[in-house]
Structure 1
Amino acid sequence: MIVEILLFVVGVILLRYWISRPRGMPPGPMVVPFLGSRPVLSVDQVQKMHKIYGDIFKSEIGPHKFIFLCSNKLIKEALSKTEFADRPQLEMLHFLTDGQEAGVIMSNGKRWQNARRFLLRNLRDLGMGKTYLEESILVEARALVKDFRSCAGTPAHIPESLNVAVLNVIWQLVASKRYEFHDKEVLEPIAILRSIDSSSLATLVEFFPGVKKLLPGFLKEKLFAGQMKRLKDSIVDLLKDSIDSHRATLDPANPRDVIDEYLIAMDEKSEIAEYFSELDLMRTIFDLFAAGFDTTANTLRWIILYMARYPEVQHRVQQQIDEVVPRDTLPSYQHKSRLPLLEATIQEVLRASSMIHNGVQRAAQTDTYLAGYFIPKGSWVFGCSGICHMDSRYWEEPQEFRPERFLDEGKVKTPKEGLIPFGSGRRSCLGEALSRMELYIFSAALLQNFTFSPPEGVEVDLEANSKQPSARLSKEQNIVISIRE
């Protein structure tokens, strides 16, 4: 009798589960009630599912639904709509503020609109994307060349100074400060950020809040909390010092940087500062910190690796630089129009590396439809630009590394479809102009002064680092830096 009652109860629960499920969603792997389907988190998994289900498909983890868009048309259509302008809500995404929504990258609604408007206005006023910011980048490029010279001749990992040089450019706009390349204060949080394994069991547990609550404290500490606390403490120490020193020396009549402008707006209670607070400021400058060292620096690492893997391309780029720029002068923006092969090579690396392969996650604000499919409110939406970057609908022989595909009669051409390296729509990268300027100047400076190659008998590995499966970060490997005479 008890068995029959249990079977009846289970049957009722399952029936209710299936009846309450939304109908008309995109195709995807089989769903197990309350657990979800086969997880699709990594680049490899997305690529496999795309081959099976096509340009739009879903997966599920617990109550969370993930929608993957794998065509240029779908990505641009979806990400330009207000219905897909939100970010998903998950406690781990707000680790720095103890689960409270803050900052600019992962916030929503008016809070996000105010933060983005404030940052765009002030970063532009301070020089982002303008040619007079070029000198700041050239200062870092000169220092980077000097540091790379000290590493030349011996096989070694690409120097950490690359990350700090890139960070310094935006950090001077944000906090009027630059770090020395080997400063432990900034290298420690970078190392912790890199060490987080987004494919771990701990990450999956975050999608099951009920399960997480049941876990004993020591297990939560071991799985995830300990690592995140180390990261939080390291970041808070770094950022709080900057905020406190700015507060102590603030002159409202003469703002120096983004932190000053933020504190002034907060103190004056201006309209745009409705959601401003020191906690929000900490998250906002962390967002800029992470964006400053992460995306651009990792793309530069890919550029170095592709040059080492394709020495004939590297040689032709260097030859063009030598023809245009005197060897005692670093390449600058005034040379850009005469260095089309360098620009085309950067474009091809952005395409081939597809670093933010699955895009930065969005969330559906409301129940809506896309491509004839029902997308429930709260669904996570991924614009998988990496699929587009390797799609033969847009590219001839996409697996080949060919910078020439971006050249037309010796001039750089921008394709209308298939290349989405900085996102799309309402939440595309707000630092794209700055990032492009940095990629050009740093790449030109390094290739003018150095040749990159693998150690003898070794081939450069262009496969992605499996510890960060949702992005395509390069593997740590030895590279030989040779000084060009």
Structure 2
Amino acid sequence: MIVEVLLFVVGAILLHYWISRPRGMPPGPMVIPYLGSRPVFNVEHVQKMHKIYGDIFKAELGPHKFIFLCNNKLIKEALAKAEFADRPQLEMVHFLTDGQEAGVVMSNGKRWQNARRFLLRNLRDLGMGKTYLEESILEEARALVKDFKSNAGTPCHTPESLNIAVLNIIWQMVANKRYDLHDKEVLNPIAILRSIDASSKVLLIEFIPWLRKLLPEFVKEKLLTGIMRKVKDSIVTLLKDTIDSHRATLDPANPRDVIDEYLIAIDEKSEIAEYFGELDLMRIIFDLFAAGFDTTANTLRWIILYMARFPEVQRRVQQQIDEVVPRDTLPSYQHKSRLPLLEATIQEVLRSSSMIHSGVQRAAQTDTYLGGYFIPKGSWVFGCSGICHMDSRYWEEPQEFRPERFLDQEGKVKTPKEGLMPFGSGRRSCLGEALSRMELYIFTAALLQNFTFSPPAGVEVDLEANPKQPASRMPKEQNIVISIRE
């Protein structure tokens, strides 16, 4: 009798599950009720599922539904819609603010709109994307060249000074501060952030609520809670000290940077500051901090690795730089139009590396349709630009590294109409794209003017992504040889 009752209850639960499921969703792997489907956590999973299910497919984990878009037209259509302007709600991404929505990257609605509008206005006023910011980037490039020279001749990992040089550009606008290229105050938080393994174990705990309730506290502490607390303590100390020092020396008549402008907006209760507060400011600073040391710096690492792997491309770029720029002068923006191969090479690295392979996740605000399929409210939506970057519909022989694909018959840089989205698309595309492009150009030009990069003798450069960071395509740490050019 007990067995029959249990079977009836289980059957009723399963029947309710299937009856309540939305119809018309994209194809995807088989779903186990209340658990989900085969996980799609990393770049390799996305690539395999795309081959099986096509340009739009889904995966599920617990109650969460994930929609993957692998077609240029679908991605741009979706990311331009207001229905897909939100970020998903996940407690883990707001660990700095104890689960409270804050900042500009992962916030939504009017809070996000105000923060983005505020940052765009103030960063532009402080020089983002403008030529007078160029001297700050050149200053960091000179310091970076000097530091790289100290590492020349012996196989080594790409120096950590690269991260701080890139961070210093945005940090001077945000906090009116420049770090020494070996400053432990900022290197330690970077090391802790990198130590986080975005593994399936952690994601399972976050995405399946009932599993999180069942696990003993010591297991959650080891897999998630303890790790996030360590990160939070390190980052909050750095950010809080920065905010406190600004508050103590604030002069409303003479704002120095973004933090000053934010504090003034709070004090004056300006219209844009409806959602502003010091907790929110801390998260905004963290968002800019992470963007400053992470994306652009790792793109530069990819550039160095690709140059070491393809020495002939490196040689031709260096030859063009030598023909245009005197050796005692760093390349600047005035030289850019005469260095088309350099710009084409950067574009080809952005395409080939596809670091933010699946974009930054969005969430459906309402039930809607896309590509002929039903997308339920709350679904996570990923614009998989990395798939498009390697799609033969947009690129001839996409697996080959060919900077010339970005040059026209006259040798001038051309921009493809579709298929290239390294900075995202639509309403929430990267707000620092102009700054990042300027940094990539100046830093790459300075490094290739002064150094040749190569693998150690008998070793081949590894262009596979770092498996410890499966959700994106970060470069592997590996030895290279930095040779000073005469």
TM-score range for the pair, normalised by the shorter chain length: over 0.9
Partners of 1:303 and 1:465 in 2: CA distance: 15
TM-score norm. by structure 2 comes to 0.99
CA distance in 1, matches of 2:375, 2:229: 35
Aligned letter for 1:202? V
Which residue in the other structure is 2:395 paired with? 395
Aligned to 2:463: 462
Distance across 1 between alignment mates of 2:200 and 2:327: 48
The 1-side partners of 2:184 and 2:24 are apart by: 52
Please name the residue that 2:407 is paired with: 407
In structure 2, C-alpha distance between the alignment counterparts of 1:120 and 1:360, rounded to whole Å: 19
1:53 equivalent in structure 2: 53
Shift of the alpha carbon at 1:242?
0.6
Question: In the alignment, which residue of structure 2 is the partner of 1:25?
Answer: 25
The match for 1:478 is: 479
The offset of 1:77, in angstroms, is 0.2
Which secondary structure state, in structure 2, belongs to the residue aligned with residue 196 of structure 1?
Answer: coil
The answer to whether the Cα contact below 8 Å between 2:41 and 2:200 also exists between their aligned partners in 1 is no
Q: Give the equivalent residue in structure 2 for 1:310.
A: 310
Which whole-Å deviations, capped at 9, do the CAs of 1:448-474 have from their partners, x for residues lacking one? 000000000000000000111110000
Give the CA deviation at 1:213: 2.5
> Is it true that 1:16 corresponds to 2:24 in the alignment?
no
Deviation at 1:219, TM superposition (A): 1.3
Percent identical pairs in the alignment equals: 87
In 1: Cα distance, 2:30 partner to 2:84 partner: 25
Give 4+ residue runs of structure 1 displaced > 4 Å after superposition.
none
Q: Which residue of 2 aligns with 1:325?
A: 325
Following superposition, the deviation at residue 278 of structure 1 comes to: 0.4
Amino acid at match of 1:450: F
Alignment correspondent of 1:453: 454
Q: Deviation of residue 157 (structure 1)?
A: 0.3
* CA RMSD, Structure 1 to Structure 2 (Å): 0.6
Amino acid at match of 1:471: S
AA at the equivalent of 1:484: R
User: AA paired with 2:421?
Assistant: I
* 1:270 paired to 2:270: yes
- Who is 2:144 aligned against? 144
Separation in structure 2 between the aligned mates of residue 292 and residue 15 of structure 1, nearest angstrom:
50
Separation in 2, partners of 1:43, 1:445: 32
Are 1:244 and 2:244 an aligned pair? yes
- Cα deviation, residue 203, structure 1: 2.3
Deviations 1:260-303 (A, max 9, x none): 00000011110100000000000000000000111100000000
Shift in Å, 1:227:
1.2
Match of 2:293 in 1: 293
* Rounded Cα–Cα distance in structure 1 between residues aligned with 2:99 and 2:209: 13
Between 1:243-252 and 1:187-196, the stretch displaced more is 187-196
Matches within 5 A, 1:167-316: 167-316=167-316
State the Cα distance separating 1:217 from its structure 2 match: 1.8
Q: C-alpha distance in 2, partners of 1:419/1:404?
A: 15
Aligned counterpart, 2:434 = 433
| Superimposed CA distance per residue, residues 168-188 of structure 1 (whole angstroms, 9 cap, x where no aligned partner) | 000000000011111111011
Measured after TM superposition, the shift of residue 212 of structure 1 is 1.2
Residue of structure 2 equivalent to 1:82: 82
State the alpha-carbon separation in 1 of the partners of residues 443 and 73 from structure 2: 33
What is the distance in 1 between the residues matched to 2:143 and 2:72?
A: 39
Which amino acid in the other structure matches residue 224 of structure 2?
F
Q: Report the residue type matching 1:166 in the other structure.
A: V
Shift of 1:405: 0.2
**Cα shift at 1:206:** 0.7
1:346 has 2:346 as partner: yes
| SS across alignment from 1:457 | coil
Q: Which residue identity lines up with residue 273 of structure 1 in the other structure?
A: A
Consecutive unaligned residues of structure 1, counting only runs of 5 or more, are: none
Matched, 1:158 2:137: no
Indicate if the aligned counterparts of 2:94 and 2:102 stay in contact, CA closer than 8 A: yes
Q: Which residue number corresponds to residue 103 of structure 2?
A: 103
Question: 1:337 & 1:184 partners in 2: Cα distance?
Answer: 38
The 5 A counterparts of 1:410-425 are 410-425=411-426
Aligned position for 1:36: 36
How far, CA to CA, are the matches of 1:100 and 1:246 in structure 2?
24
Output the amino acid matched with 2:418. E
Q: TM-score, normalised by structure 1?
A: 1.00
| Most deviating of 246-255 and 211-220 | 211-220
Q: Give 1:308 deviation, angstroms.
A: 0.1
Q: Do structure 1's residue 336 and structure 2's residue 333 form an aligned pair?
A: no
CA distances 1:302-336 after superposition (whole Å, capped 9, x unpaired):
00000000000000000000000000000000000
Deviations 1:199-229 (A, max 9, x none): 2412221101222123222111111111111
* Equivalent-residue separation in structure 1 for 2:193 and 2:22 (angstroms): 37
Please give the secondary structure, in 2, of the residue aligned with 1:107.
Answer: coil
Letter in 1 for 2:237: D
Question: Partner amino acid for 1:256?
Answer: R
SS at 2:99 equivalent: coil
Number of positions where the alignment pairs a residue of Structure 1 with one of Structure 2 = 485
Query: Helix, strand or coil for the counterpart of 2:107?
Result: coil
Instruction: Write the deviation string for residues 357-406 of structure 1: whole angstroms up to 9, x where unpaired.
Output: 00000000000000110000000000000000000000000000000000
**In 1, Cα distance between equivalents of 2:317 and 2:204:** 44
CA distance in 1, matches of 2:227, 2:165: 26
Paired amino acid for 1:465: N
SS at match of 2:328: coil
SS of residue in 2 equivalent to 1:66:
strand
CA deviation vs aligned residue, 1:79-99 (integer Å, no higher than 9, x gap) = 000000000001001010011
Contact 2:129 2:435 in 1 (8 A): yes
1:41 Cα offset (Å) = 1.1
Whole-Å Cα distance in 2 between the matches of residues 218 and 62 of structure 1? Answer: 22
